Chains A and B, each alone.
Chain A
Amino acid sequence: DTAVSQTPKYLVTQMGNDKSIKCEQNLGHDTMYWYKQDSKKFLKIMFSYNNKELIINETVPNRFSPKSPDKAHLNLHINSLELGDSAVYFCASSSFGTSGSNEQFFGPGTRLTVL
């Protein structure tokens, strides 16, 4: 009964390919996020969706396109992969609003290696 799950866990691909990472949460949260952790362990938010609506879209190349088919799922599609896209991508979820803690729960991560 994993709370936030991601697939695949590892992804090795060639430059120029298109790939997707899937994320699902069973916590009943209404907000989901994608983060990128680079080789120096710096973490940066990429996108956030609340009730399937995009609420945060940081300066991410438009080769990255998130899709949220419902509140429990947030997928990340990456076109024309580049070497610099190699990183660990984390999905997270939380409730949203000013009254709660909005504590984020993270998935196990997807390690993407672009050759």
Chain B
Amino acid sequence: ELKVEQNPLFLSMQEGKNYTIYCNYSTTSDRLYWYRQDPGKSLESLFVLLSNGAVKQEGRLMASLDTKARLSTLHITAAVHDLSATYFCQGTYKYIFGTGTRLKVLA
């Protein structure tokens, strides 16, 4: 069965802390996408990871891709309240989305 699994599904963290969201996918995917979705809003593209070993950083977020392990990570450094949102990963095979991780950063 085709799957893209994210964990955790829910994440409540204190401001200033670090954490990692994991995205495991069951079929080969030559690239991996990360999105952010605020409540009631559309999806905003965060990162496009194009190859094995790709690492991209934007502000407090860093994403990486390991195609051999079929794993991508989204690392949050020194979280701030503005990062509260739902984060999705997506593979390229049938454009399957992960289950989403709802992040809440507490002041």
Q: With an 8 A cutoff between CB atoms, is B84 at the interface? A: no
Give every chain B residue within 8 A of A56 (Cβ-Cβ): 94-95
Q: With an 8 A cutoff between CB atoms, is B20 at the interface? A: no
Check A90/B43 contact, CB under 8 A, given A45-B94, A56-B94. Answer: yes
> Closest chain A residue to B30 by CB distance?
A98
Whether the pair A102, B92 counts as a contact (CB closer than 8 A) is yes
Q: Complex: how many Å from CA A104 to CA B88?
A: 13
Chain A interface residue number, banded: 20 to 34
A67-101 contact mask (Cβ, 8 Å, vs B): 1 or 0:
00000000000000000000000101000001001
> Closest chain A residue to B39 by CB distance?
A41
Report which B residues bind A (CB closer than 8 A).
30-31, 33, 35, 37, 41-45, 48, 50, 86, 88, 92, 94-97, 99-100, 102
